Amino acid sequence: MNRRTLMIAALLALAGLPVAAGETAKVSMDRNLFTPQHLKIKPGTTVQWVNDEKRTSHSVFFEAEGLAESDRLFPGETWSRSFDKPGKYPYRCGPHPEMTGIIDVAP
Ligand SMILES: [Cu+2]
């Protein structure tokens, strides 16, 4: 996927519009927030979390699903997960439990 496509996906996400299947949507980790905090996507979309902090590390932890926490992401690092089934997927940062987000997968 090229940079322009990623940019479009990011803009759609910020506008609250669903990202098309097969695309990659970005969630930024910055100032102890996931942005967008509520991301709507189509089934088949990959979400890529990017640590945009200057020095703080974060993780992505789908605790409610009983999944393992991601590795700790240092500034500039990324972690991805694909979503095939419709549903709401809440998650949080491992070291910062108050830092939460939700992936909303709907056709
Ligand atoms: Cu964190």
Cα 85 to ligand 1 centre (Å): 26
Q: Residue 8: what pLDDT?
A: 62
Q: Which residues of the chain have pLDDT under 70?
A: 1-21
Burial (Cβ within 10 Å: 0-12, 13-18, ≥19) of residue 93:
buried
Q: CB neighbours of 21 closer than 8 A, spacing ≥ 6?
A: 42, 43, 44, 45
The confidence score (pLDDT) of residue 16 equals 63
Q: Where are the domains of the chain?
A: 3-105
Give the H or E element holding residue 12.
helix 3-14
Architecture of domain 3-105: Sandwich (2.60)
For the four alpha carbons of 56, 61, 63 and 67, in that order, the dihedral sign comes to: negative
Amino acid 22: pLDDT: 75
State the distance from the centre of ligand 1 to the C-alpha of 102, rounded, in angstroms: 15
Q: Quick one: pLDDT at residue 2? A: 57
Measure 52 CA to ligand 1 centroid, in angstroms: 11
Coil, strand, or helix at residue 58?
strand
In this prediction, residue 32 carries a pLDDT of: 98
- Residue 85 has a pLDDT of 96
Distance 46 CA to ligand 1 centre (A): 21
pTM: 0.81
